[in-house]
Amino acid sequence: MYCVRVLMRFSAATSAILATCIGLSSCTSSNTETALTLPPASVKTARLAPSQAIVPPSMPAASVPSIDPTPVAAIAPPAAVRDPHELAWNGGGEQTHAFDGMATTVGMPVPAERPMASLRPALNPVLSQPMPRSPGFQRLKVYGQRFSDAKPMNFGKVAPRHFAVHGVDVSRWQADIDWAKLRTQGANFAYIKATDGGDHIDPMFKTNWRGAQQAGIRRGAYHFFYWCRTAGEQADWFIRNVPRDPDALPPVIDVEYNHQSGCKMRLSTERVLEKMQVFMDKLERHYGQRPVIYTAPDFYKDHLRGQFRDYPFWLRSVAAHPSKIYPDRKWVFWQYSGSGLSQGVEGKIDLNVFNGGEEGWHDWVGRSTGAGSAVARR
């Protein structure tokens, strides 16, 4: 009996010790590693939190892995974005020094350097309604051209002088322009450099835009496309800086090679066409006008031959008629000189013609714009 009582006491003590060990094991299951793997309360997750998990009372609680342990509060919010339709005149847009070394070629001035791109904003697939027409279409007087050329060319049987409607394109390089005088010399229309890339505005754009209008010249704005920046970002920048004026000529996208640029990217034709389409769609939605495509022979040959058949083209051809350089392309404007001379401008100026007579010009303007209510008949 004594031995039996001793064994019973030993067995009871052993059971108590074992029960204590089991209890301690259950209490230490929520260790430091488990606590670190639990997602914070602010993180949205599809998994159950530990308090929601169904755990048998006799088993230690299992750790629940989180999808993303980073608290939402630790994620920096995106920088404030300005209204892309707000005009950036009067110092509203940031300027960079990436364009201080701009160089010019025959045709459009091209920048030498630009920063890299950001992400492209999403596009709305629905085109906006065209701008309402201005009441009372007025046909502005067409002046015969009196331009000369520092480097005259013999274009053969069909020369620029045989076209009735001449015009110019200008940028900062023409400095102060006497627009009234320039009009009497034959500038019946003017395309004015507005922007390039996604952060540069021509410093003379505002002055030229207003000066051409006050002189009674049909005017439009052009954008120099930069291949190292997203198309959507560039379209937003153009829209911020160019007024939505129903009397303006259709906007222009200038696509060409820039050998002085810091952007050495050479895109495939597929990517070139894609970026152009994004840019043009966004402008067409905003302005209600189909953009004009300006280009040069080498770029056209590499990427644009046979493309964009339903878009108007503005072709540079300073040594021959466009039919010789672009035999398969219909065109609206021909830039025939980058060395033009005229009263009202110091130095050289680009010269252009419209492909048609006076009646054709008035008809095209009437179909492409709001018909000129803001431009007084002169």
Q: Which residues are catalytic?
A: 256
DSSP letter for each residue of 178-232: -HHHHHHTT--EEEEEEEETTTEE-TTHHHHHHHHHHTT-EEEEEEE--TTS-HH
- Separation CA 101–CA 144 (nearest Å): 36
E-strand ranges in 5-78 read none
Helix (H, G, I), strand (E, B) or coil at 103: strand
Among 368, 109, 141, smallest CA distance to 246 is for 368
Place of tokens 């402008």: 283
C-alpha to C-alpha distance for 362 and 68, rounded to whole angstroms? 63
Q: What are phi and psi of 72, to 5 degrees?
A: -60, -35
Report how far residue 354's alpha carbon sits from residue 164's, in angstroms, rounded to the nearest whole number: 8
Rounded Cα gap, residues 159 and 65, in angstroms: 77
C-alpha distances (whole Å) from 272 to each of 85, 223, 275 are 25, 16, 5
Distance of CA 372 to the CA centre of its chain: 27
Helix (H) or strand (E) holding 169, with range, is strand 166-170
Give the CB-side neighbour count of residue 320, counting CA atoms within 13 A: 8
CB neighbours (10 Å) of residue 373?
A: 15
